Chains A and B, each alone.
Chain A
Amino acid sequence: MNNAILPRWIDIFLLPIINLLAALCVAGIIIALIGENPFTALVVMLKGAFVYHGGLGYTLYYTTNFIFTGLAVAVAFHAMLFNIGGEGQAMMGGLGVGLVALAIDPFLPPVLVVLLGICAAAALGGLWGVIPGWLQARRGSHIVITTIMFNFIASSVMVWLLAGMLMNPGQMSPETRSFAEGVGLAQIHVIAGWLGIEISRSPLNLSFPIALIVSVGVWWLIWRTRLGYIIRATGHSEKAAIYAGHDPARIIMIAMAISGALAGLMALNEILGVQGRVILNFTSGYGFTGIAVALMGRNHPVGILFASLLFGALYQGGAELDFEFQSITREMVLMIQGLIILFSGALAYMFNPAVERIYLRLTKQGQADG
C-alpha cells in the first residue's frame, strides 16, 4: 500500500497502536457482554504480567517463545513467503533436541549434549521448513497449504513417536524419559542465586538471552548481508532478482530453511529450558502466535521484540485472569490474539484513509498558521 502521504513514524508506530487499540476495544466489549469489567480485567492482566511476584519472569519466558516464532515468520515474509508452519517446525525442533539428548546424554558431558541439541533443533526445524520451500520453488505447490499440511504431519509424527518407540517405559503418558542431570539450559533465578542475587522463581531460562542474540543475528542477516539483501530483493520482485542473476527457487529454499530453523529453536525454551524431556503439544499454538507477532512487529527484529513482549504479557496476564475471575479463562487470550491478528493483519490498512485525512488537515492547518 502506498504510504507516501504519511511520515514514517505514523506508519510504524501510530497505525499499529491504533490497530491494537481497536482489537482491545472489541475484546473489552466482549468481556463486558459476558458480565465482567474490562478495565478491572486489564489491570489484573498488567499486574499479573509485570507486578506480581515472578510475573515478569513468566512474561519474559513466554516472550522468548514468541521472539523465535515471530522471527521465523518475518524471515519468510521478507522473501514474500507465508510460513504458517511454525507450529510443526517447532515440534520437529523439539524432536531434534530430544533425539540427540536421548541418544548421547549417557556418554557425553551435558554442555556438549546441549550444544548438539541446539544444532539438531535448528536442523530439524529447518528441514521441516525447507521441504515446503522446495515444493513451492520447484514443484509449484502453494506454501500456505503445504505448511498447514506439514503442521498436521508433524503433529502425527510426534504422537506416533512419543506414544511409541520414544515413550518412557513404564509410563502411560506420551513423553520421553527425562534427560540426564545437567542437560538443559539453566533458569535465570538459579543463575542469579549463584551470583548471590535473590529473584523469584520462574521458568525464564538462558533461552531468553539466546533469543536476543538470535534477534540481532536476524537483523544483521536481513539488513547487513548480501544474502539478506537478495532475500529482500526476491521478495520485492522475483523478476529483478532473476535479472540480477539470482535463482529465486534457491533463495526461497534458503529463506524457508532459516525460517524453519528459527521456529525449531523455540524448542530450546520449552524442552531444554523447562521440561527436560520431550512432551506432546509443547508448542501449544506459539507457532501461530508468531504470525501475529511478525505482523505487529512489521517484520523487523526490534518490532518483533516489542510485539513478543506484548504477547508474553498477554499470556502471563491471561493466566492471572484465570485465577481472579470466575468466568474468564486462558481462552480469553486466544480470543484477543485472534482479534489482534484480524485488526493488525487482515484489516491493517482500514484506518489508513482516516489517519491520512486527519494528518493532512492538521498539517495544512499548521502551514496556514505558519
Chain B
Amino acid sequence: MADLWLQFVLTIDATIRVATPLMLCAMAGLFSERSGIIDISLEGKMLLAAFAAASVAALTGSPWLALAGGILISLLFSLVHGFACITHKGNQVISGLAINILASGLTVTIGIAIFAQGGQTPFLSSDQRFSSITLPFAQAAGSIPIIGTIYKEILSGHNLLVWLAFVAVGLTSLIVFRTSFGLRLRAVGEKPEAVDSAGISVVAMRYQAVMIAGILCGIAGAYLSVAHGAGFVREMTAGKGYIALAAMIFGNWRPLPAMMACLMFGFLDALAARLQGVSLPMIGEVPTDLILVLPYVLTVVLLAGFIGKSTPPLAIGTPYIKER
C-alpha cells in the first residue's frame, strides 16, 4: 500500500514536470488566439527557443543568458508570424506551419554548423542549468506520512521555471480577465471593428499578443533544454506544442481550465511512462501507446461537441481589414 502511494506521488511529481512546458505554451496560445491570431507555431517557437537556450548555455555557461536567448529567438519568430498574419494579412495556419517546418530545419542546420555534433548541443553540466530548488526541511519532512511525502516529492525539488509556469497561468488569468488590456485583447479577438472604433489600434493589440506568446514559448523552450533536460536534441519538442494547443482548446480558451487540461495531459504522459511494460491484473500488458494518444482523441471528441461546447474567439483566423 505504502509503495503504491509512493508510486502515485512520484507520478504526480512527473506530471508537473511534463505539464510545465505545456502550461507555458498553452498560455502563449491563449494570448495569441484571444487576440484573433491562430498560433499553431507554438511547437516551432518552442523548438527554436530550446535550441537557442541550450546553445547560449553551452557557449556562456549562464542559464539566465540561456533563458534570455531562448526568449529572444522565440520573440523574433513570433514577430515573423505577426508580420505575415497581421501586417500582410496572410493565412495564419500557413504561417504557423512554415515556422514549424523552418524550426525543424534551422535548429539542426545551425546546430551542426556551431557544434558539429549531428544537430545536438553539448551536454550541459548542472551549473549551466536551472537547478532544482529543495524547499526547506524537505528531507526531514519526508518521514512524516502523507503530508510529508507530498511536500518532499511533489512540492520540493522543482526548478525555478516550473514555478514560473504556475505564476504565468495566474498572471494570464489576471491580465486577460481583470485588466483593461485584457478586455481590449478579448474584444480584438471577438469584434475587432468595435475596438477600432473605440480608437484602439487592432494591429498594435495583435502584435502585443503574439509577442507575449513569443516570450512564453521562449520560456517553455528554455525549460526543455536548460532546466528539465541538459542540452538540445533534434525534434526535442516532439509534438508538445500541439498538445499545448489542444489543451488550450480543451480549456475553452480560458487560463485555469487550460492549466487543468495541461495537467491532465501531463498526467497521461507520466502514467504511460510509468506503466511502460507493466502487466496489470485483469488488463494484462498496458497499451501505453493508446494512453499517449488520449489527449488527441479527447480534443477531437470535445471539439465535436460531445463533451461540453467549445467557443473559440469569434474573429479568430480572420485578418482585420480597416474600412476606409
Task: List A contacts of B287 (CB < 8 A).
Answer: 160
Nearest residue (CB) in B for A295 is: B94
A224 interface residue per 8 A CB criterion: no
Contact B289–A338 (Cβ < 8 Å): no
- In the complex, chain A residues whose CB is within 8 Å of the CB of B100: 338
Using known A-B contacts A35-B113, A160-B287, A160-B289, determine if residue A149 contacts B91 with beta carbons closer than 8 Å.
no
**Shortest Cβ distance from A57 into chain B, in angstroms?**
25
Taking the closest CB of chain B, its distance from the CB of A139, in whole angstroms, is: 4
Provide the bound-state CA to CA distance between A334 and B98, in Å: 10
A132 to chain B, nearest CB (A): 8
**B108 contacts which of A82, A331, A336 (Cβ < 8 Å)?**
A331
Looking at the assembled complex, report how far the CB atom of A162 sits from the nearest CB atom of chain B, in whole angstroms. 10
Per a CB cutoff under 8 Å, which of B90, B97, B242, B304 touches A135? B304
A149 engages B296 (CB within 8 Å) = yes
* A residues 153-171 touching B (CB-CB < 8 Å): 153, 156-157, 159-160, 163
**Chain B: which residue is nearest A132 at the CB level?**
B300
- A125-160 residues at the B interface, CB under 8 angstroms: 135, 139-142, 144-146, 148-150, 152-153, 156-157, 159-160
Question: Is residue A185 contacting chain B, with contact meaning CB distance below 8 A?
Answer: no
Please state if A156 and B98 are interface contacts (CB–CB under 8 Å).
Answer: no
Which residues in chain B, 214-242, are within 8 Å of chain A measured between CB atoms? Answer: 234, 239, 242
Q: Is B305 an interface residue (CB 8 A)?
A: yes
Interface band, chain A: 35 or more
Q: Does A34 contact B (CB under 8 A)?
A: yes
Q: Is B54 an interface residue (CB 8 A)?
A: no
**Cβ contact of B300, chosen from A84, A141, A348, cutoff 8 A:** A141
> Quick check: is A303 within 8 A (CB to CB) of the other chain?
no
**Shortest beta-carbon distance, B8 to chain A, in Å?**
25
Shortest A351–chain B CB gap in Å is 10
Interface residues of A in 259-318 (CB under 8 A from B): 285, 288, 291, 295
Cα distance A348–B95 in the bound complex, in angstroms: 10
- How many angstroms from the CA of A146 to the CA of B239 in the assembled complex? 15
Main secondary structure of the interface of A (DSSP, over half): helix
Q: How far is the CA of A336 from the CA of B108 in the complex (A)?
A: 13
B102 adjacent to A156 (CB under 8 Å)? no
Complex contact A342–B109 (CB within 8 A) = no
Cross-chain contact B98 with A342 (CB below 8 angstroms): yes
Which chain A residues lie closer than 8 Å to B245 at the CB level?
145, 148
Q: Does B106 contact A (CB under 8 A)?
A: yes
Return chain A residues, CB-CB under 8 Å to B68: none
Q: Which residues of A contact B105 (CB under 8 A)?
A: 331-338
Let me know if A141 and B304 touch, CB within 8 A: yes
CB distance from A365 to the nearest CB of B (A): 29
Chain B residues in the interface with A (C-beta under 8 A): 38, 40, 80, 83-85, 88-95, 97-106, 108-110, 112-113, 116, 119, 234, 239, 242, 245-246, 249, 287, 289-290, 292-293, 296-297, 299-300, 303-305, 312
Q: Can you add 16 more A-B contacts, CB < 8 Å, to A338-B104, A349-B90?
A: A34-B109, A35-B113, A135-B300, A141-B300, A144-B38, A145-B245, A149-B297, A157-B293, A288-B101, A331-B119, A333-B105, A335-B109, A342-B95, A347-B83, A347-B84, A349-B89
Q: Which 3 A-B pairs have the closest CB atoms?
A: A338-B102, A335-B105, A334-B105
Question: Please, could you name 15 A-B residue pairs with CB atoms under 8 Å apart, sorted by A?
Answer: A34-B110, A142-B303, A152-B296, A156-B292, A156-B293, A288-B101, A295-B94, A334-B104, A334-B105, A337-B105, A339-B102, A341-B97, A345-B94, A345-B95, A347-B90
